[in-house]
Chain A
């Protein structure tokens, strides 16, 4: 509990990570070059103050499934991210990256991100001032959203 209390204190300070809403994202693409537009879009979101990037790593799987972990600094297609990547880094462990690589097909590339949702800061602060705390949250897979929208106004008989 001490750690939780410390984190709460940290979050009151402007520049600190608002730990209520930190997300991981795994993006898969045919190859590293295909990740360039994503890097540019992320760069734009960071410059607009919408998100902070806490860690970014690129993984490449060869045809045999072997995983290579690449740093953003070494990749031309990631150039857009070099100026905006947060100073933290190191949040993703080797184990995290191994797990993430499973989501990337052999012969393709992936990008593993840890982002902080800066846009949600005011909401988070307001909830805390009211004594509230964000206790759970999840992204809902697009397929489930589409199925639920298709099922409306029934109560969702989609089986996944």
Chain B
């Protein structure tokens, strides 16, 4: 046991779009593995779908493939309420009509040593963010040129 056990890792969200709403559940074993290994902790996992007319609505986990044999059942409790309907609808607005998206709110447990080190050095994380893919591609091209 160390003091690190009591620290909260940075919280992030990710939106994963599934074009045509074809969600096979293939990503769930990967997600379970990350949780099992203590890399992340899932705070909320919600799904939103955008109808062809552009209307967005929340989707229940159990409706995803309808065979009643969902691995997803283990995530049924992964709803803290931190991610609310407004957040879900905002995520829905990002996707194409006819697509669905998963919205994952999670704690970056892997970053605890980083958070702990910041405290030891009286440091502070003053800004952070994911970098859009187009920007990365452009920067990589520029760096290689």
Contacts and interface: CB of A to CB of B under 8 A. Distances in A.
B91 interface: yes
B60 interface: no
A45 B128 contact: no
Interface in A12-70: 17, 19-30, 34-38, 40-42, 44-45, 50-51
Contacts of A23: 128-131
B74 interface: no
Interface string B82-111: 101000000100110000011001000011
A26 B137 contact: no
Contact residues on B (Cβ < 8 Å of other chain), bracket: 35 or more
Contacts of A3: 134, 137-138, 141
Contact residues on A (Cβ < 8 Å of other chain), bracket: 35 or more
B34 interface: yes
Contacts of A130: 18, 22-27
A30 B122 contact: yes
Contact of A4 (B29, B128, B130, B134): B134
B78 interface: no
Interface string A79-90: 000000000111
Contacts of B80: 152
Nearest to B101: A135
Interface SS, A side: mixed
A81 to B, nearest CB: 12
Given A25-B128, A41-B113, A89-B143, A134 B16 contact: yes
A149 interface: yes
Contact of A88 (B10, B26, B81, B140): B140
Interface string B4-48: 000010111111111110111111011101100001100000000
Interface of B: 8, 10-20, 22-27, 29-31, 33-34, 39-40, 80-82, 84, 91, 94-95, 101-102, 105, 110-111, 113-114, 116-118, 120-131, 133-134, 136-143
Given A7-B137, A119-B34, A138-B129, 9 more contacts: A7-B136, A28-B124, A36-B121, A38-B114, A100-B127, A120-B34, A122-B30, A127-B26, A137-B130
